Amino acid sequence: MSMPLVLASGFTDVRPGLIFWTLVTFILVFAVLRWKAWGPILALADERERQITGAIEAAKRERAEAEKLLLEQKMAIADARREAAELVRKNQAEMEHFRDEMKASAQREVEALKESARRDITEQQKKAVAELKALSVDMAIDIAQKLLGEKMDDSRHRALAQQFVREVPAEDASKTPRA
């Protein structure tokens, strides 16, 4: 292959017309593709990337939020548990206190009842003793009248009998069993 052949063959020719057509074709292809292909395709790709980034960000945020919520829930549960325990404890204490109080009050009532009964008995006893004394005076007078056979001056004799009765020891009356 000789050099003149290469030069004559024309593959190194630069045709101005072809440069022109290249420019025209390129500009047309560029305009059409930019309008109908690159624009929409790149916009879609951008949108997709934006959505993916957004989704990842949102997922991260939501996860953090969920973790925070979980922690809060756990803390709330622990609080509730502690409160319940406290409540139970307090209740028990209260119950104990109430029971003690009940017991004490019952005791007090019983004591009061006992006291009043005792008081009643003493009173009755006193009354009975007084009645008995009065009766014994009358009886003593009757007996004495019969014994002496004479009618005694009532007021003088009566004072005498009362003196006798007073001399009778009072301890016997208190030792009598309760009615």
> For binding to another protein (CB under 8 A), which residues are involved?
1, 5-6, 8-23, 25-30, 32-34, 36-42, 44-45, 47-48, 51
39 vs 100 by CB, closer to another protein: 39
User: Please, what is the minimum distance in Å from the beta carbon of residue 50 to another protein?
Assistant: 10
Name the residue type at position 37.
A
1 vs 170 by CB, closer to another protein: 1
From CA 178, how far away is CA 128, in angstroms rounded? Answer: 12
From CA 165, how far away is CA 136, in angstroms rounded? Answer: 8
The 8-class DSSP code of residue 11 comes to: T
21 vs 98 by CB, closer to another protein: 21
User: Please, what is the minimum distance in Å from the beta carbon of residue 36 to another protein?
Assistant: 5
User: Please, what is the minimum distance in Å from the beta carbon of residue 62 to another protein?
Assistant: 21
Contact by Cβ (8 Å): 158, 141? yes
From CA 179, how far away is CA 102, in angstroms rounded? Answer: 31
User: Please, what is the minimum distance in Å from the beta carbon of residue 7 to another protein?
Assistant: 10
Half-sphere exposure of 57 (CA within 13 A, CB side): 6
42 vs 64 by CB, closer to another protein: 42
User: Please, what is the minimum distance in Å from the beta carbon of residue 53 to another protein?
Assistant: 13
Give the ranges where the chain is alpha helix by DSSP (H). Answer: 3-9, 16-33, 39-148, 154-167, 171-175
3-class SS of residue 90: helix
